[in-house]
Amino acid sequence: MILRTRSKDLDLSHHTHLMGVVNVTPDSFSDGGKYFDAPAAVAHAEELIRDGADLLDVGGESSRPGADPVPLDEELRRVIPVIQELARRHPSVPLSIDTTKAEVARRAMRAGASLLNDISALRFDPGMAAVARETDVPVVLMHMQGNPRTMQTAPSYIDVVREIGSFFRERLAFAEKTGIAADRLLLDPGIGFGKTLDHNLQILKNLRALAEIGRPLVLGLSRKTFIARLLADGEKILSPQERSEGSLAGHLWAAAQGAHILRVHDVRGTRRALRVWQAIARGLAG
């Protein structure tokens, strides 16, 4: 399964690829705005590349639970300089723009991005499908119940895996109807986006059922709250930086269940863990 981007073709058939997270936001749940200014974000991205990231996901609007929307001009101000500089310095590293705004996506593609990661699955901005069609870039369609401000307000499903599968099939049909080629589409079940702890575990347990839809699976579970809850010591909920071991366990499980791309914060640690797991799985050294 080949994912074709403007920067590089990624062969998703043989191993799980790592998408390094570059948050250019002051309120990210994972790093608290540590890389908010462009130079810091670029330096962090280059560290992720050195650590082995196959591609990078640049975002300028936090999607943590309860997050407020960011105005268009501000989101552009945050992400475009970062994408421009990374595209100039590392033209062979595919850059993904994490946005729900069509104009941000359009300008990001002009600046050098070669993938679109839309947590709304082309639902929030009526112009997004046209941008995806016109730029002909791969598009990640993510499942989310509600929006970032409301998604964790009593999320409810009868059968979470079946409902996500139905959502994906409807979104794939919509994308193809609007002229987006089927081989450009990837699917993300949206761990933590309108899901309880039990919902997240059911999704992970049944990833193979979602893989059977036939499109590459992207998974973002790195440092998520459900990991902190699983690792909770009494009443204490671990900080994002204390969730590394739990994130690695989730990443290895996801890889074993057929996830093609993992969206991660700790690229180096995840790469090393995957290397050992893959060697064991294949029974081969090197």
Residues contacting 230, CB < 8 A, separation 6+: 197, 246
What is the tens place of the pLDDT at every residue in 25-37?
885 545 555 666 8
| Per-residue pLDDT at 249 | 97
DSSP string of 104-153, one letter each residue: HHHHHHHHT--EEEETTTT-S-TTHHHHHHHHT--EEEE--SS-TTTTTS
**Average pLDDT over all residues of the chain:** 92
Is pLDDT at 7 greater than 70 in this prediction? yes
Q: How far apart are CA 29 and CA 136, in angstroms?
A: 31
Which tokens hold the place of 236?
């204490």
pLDDT band at 153 (very low <50, low <70, confident <90, very high): confident
pLDDT band at 250 (very low <50, low <70, confident <90, very high): very high
Q: Are 185 and 138 in contact (CB under 8 A)?
A: yes
Global pTM reads 0.94
pLDDT at 28: 54
pLDDT of 286 strictly over 70:
no
The pLDDT value recorded for residue 139 is 98
Residue-level pLDDT at 284: 63
As a whole number of Å, the end-to-end CA separation of the chain is: 23
pLDDT for 148: 73
- Residue 25: C-alpha distances to residues 18, 29, 30, 188, 226 (Å): 21, 10, 11, 22, 22
Query: pLDDT (tens digit, 9 = 90+) per residue, 215-242?
Result: 999 999 999 999 999 998 766 778 888 9
> What tokens were used for 55?
């591609």
Query: Candidates 3.20.20.20, 3.30.420.480, 3.40.50.300, 3.50.50.60; correct CATH number of 2-277?
Result: 3.20.20.20
Q: Is there a contact between 228 and 182 (Cβ–Cβ < 8 Å)?
A: no
DSSP assignment string, 21-50:
EEE--SS-TTTTTTT-SHHHHHHHHHHHHH
Q: Give residue 27's pLDDT.
A: 58
The residue type found at 178 is T
- Whole-number pLDDT of residue 44: 96
Token pair in block for residue 4: 């074709």
- Residue 112 has a pLDDT of 98
Q: What is the pLDDT of residue 285?
A: 57
Average pLDDT of span 112-117: 98
Q: Is the dihedral of CA 29, 35, 94, 272 positive or negative?
A: negative
Domain ranges of the chain: 2-277
Catalytic residues, which ones? 224, 263
Contact 130, 122 (CB under 8 A): no
